[in-house]
Amino acid sequence: MASKEARLAELEERIQAPDFWDDPQRARALMKERARLQDEVNAWAQWEQRWQDAYELAEMGDPDLAEELEAEVAALEQELRQRELQAMLSGPYDRHNALLSIHAGAGGTDAHDWAEMLLRMYLRWAEKRGYETEILDQLPGEEAGIKSVTVAVNGPWAYGYLKAEKGVHRLVRLSPFDAAHRRHTSFALVEVLPQVEDDSEVEINPKDLKIDTFRASSAGGQNVQKNATAVRITHLPTGIVVSCQNERSLTQNKNTALRVLKARLLERKQQEQARQMAELKGEYQKAEWGSQIRSYVLHPYQMVKDHRTGYEVGNAQAVLDGDLDGFIEAYLQHAIAEKSGG
């Protein structure tokens, strides 16, 4: 915290300089950094004050305050745990909002149902954290579940936490869609992108875009609107295609699709930079569907295990209800250890 306070003091001094606004783009970035640091410093100060108040209440030894004091200590400990998690997040986009996409793998109806189960899991997790969520685009399965979905998750550190979820998720269970009730294995791919908060991060030439409109469809392919309000945008230089059909107006869907496109272009830029660095180190491996990062077993026993970190829990239902923090924390610690060569 001392380093952040020192950086804040440095920024305050620079902001007072007469030539500060000579470079408006740089000035706005520094103002944004100052606001972020000020929020962090103030939040820590408030936490320390609450802890001091709780300590003083405990010293009074008043039994009538015991229940209130226990609740406050539990809340303070939970907040401290979250701040410890945040301390592990040092990526340039970790503070950003996130775009989370889920794609059903091979397996038909079971895979579509699994994709919808994952959607519910992440919505529950976001709700517990107080994050706002918005489904931007969703393609339903023919019989049940969803083929794919893209969700905006808005809140502090959303991308930093959710990046732990990138990869293939595997489900093993007795299929509710199999008449013989046999055991099935289903797969789904989870993608997580940081939302672009500064247009200077990703520049798009309108001439590079092919924009198609079509009528939004519901499950089973029925048209739900007479007008063509759904949008599909193709970025010609990269071949990236994004679509949106959840909003009522063409303009809203276009703006949302552009938002997703910017996130995908930013990810592509990050991947290229990472590839170049990895090639220099001789460590580059192409990212593909590959093997799963996590398995969710509901039969013949219950267990959820992350194959990257070895972290596992026996209460699979709690995980599917959004209890993901243990997995996220284990991943962040694992990532830090890998960076440090530990």
Of 8-12, 135-139, 197-201, give the range with the top mean pLDDT. 135-139
Q: What is the average pLDDT across 268-274?
A: 80
For 98-195+293-340, CATH number out of 3.90.470.10, 3.30.1330.200, 3.40.50.920, 3.30.70.1660 equals 3.30.70.1660
Q: What is the pLDDT of residues 172-217, one digit of tens each?
A: 999 988 878 888 899 999 999 998 876 667 888 899 999 998 877 6
Contact 29, 92 (CB under 8 A): no
Q: What is the pLDDT of residues 297-330, one digit of tens each?
A: 998 899 999 999 999 999 999 999 999 999 999 9
Decide if pLDDT at 282 tops 60: no
pLDDT computed for residue 35 by the predictor: 81
How many CB atoms within 10 Å of residue 18?
6
Q: What is the DSSP letter of 234?
A: E
How many CB atoms within 10 Å of residue 120?
12
Task: Fold for 201-281, please state it.
Answer: Double Stranded RNA Binding Domain (3.30.160)
For 2-87, CATH number out of 1.10.3210.10, 1.20.58.410, 1.20.1260.10, 2.40.10.10 equals 1.20.58.410
Q: How is 252-267 classified by DSSP, letter by letter? A: HHHHHHHHHHHHHHHH
Looking at per-residue pLDDT, the higher value among 44 and 313 belongs to 313
Confidence label for 269 from pLDDT (cuts 50, 70 and 90): confident
pLDDT computed for residue 27 by the predictor: 83
Confidence label for 288 from pLDDT (cuts 50, 70 and 90): very low
Looking at per-residue pLDDT, the higher value among 303 and 106 belongs to 303
Q: Give the SS3 label for residue 218.
A: coil
**Which tokens in the block code for residue 30?**
């520094």
H helix or E strand, kind and range, residue 39 = helix 24-60
**Separation CA 209–CA 203 (nearest Å):** 12
